[in-house]
Amino acid sequence: MVKHITYTTRGVCSRQIDIDIDTETDVILSVKFIGGCNGNTQGVAALARGMKVADAIARLEGIHCGPRPTSCPDQLATALRQA
């Protein structure tokens, strides 16, 4: 079964993250950022695809963007944690 998540970001340039997770394997099937730095968000999305949710959270959580206390990868980790 696939669980779809739509997460509204906070404190970053991207506005939203759409995520599909395979609930049986807990693997990320797809990630799409709406807005933000196109190349960077595409890269993060491509790297997250195929990862276990817990592994993605562990790698992405706590990353900052310049002086901001969060980043698009950190917001992805937050969205996955809430899922």
Predicted confidence band of residue 70 (pLDDT cuts 50, 70, 90)? very high
Q: What is the 3-state secondary structure (H, E, C) of 4-50?
A: EEEEECCCCCEEEEEEEEECCCCEEEEEEEEECCHHHHHHHHHHHCC
Specify the pLDDT at position 82. 94
In angstroms, rounded to a whole number, what is the distance separating the alpha carbons of residues 78 and 30?
16
Q: Does domain 2-82 have CATH number 3.30.390?
A: yes
Rounded to two decimals, what is the model's pTM?
0.96
In angstroms, rounded to a whole number, what is the distance separating the alpha carbons of residues 38 and 29?
19
Sequence spans of domains, the chain? 2-82
Predicted confidence (pLDDT) per residue in 1-52, tens digit: 999 999 999 999 999 999 999 999 999 999 999 999 999 999 999 999 999 9
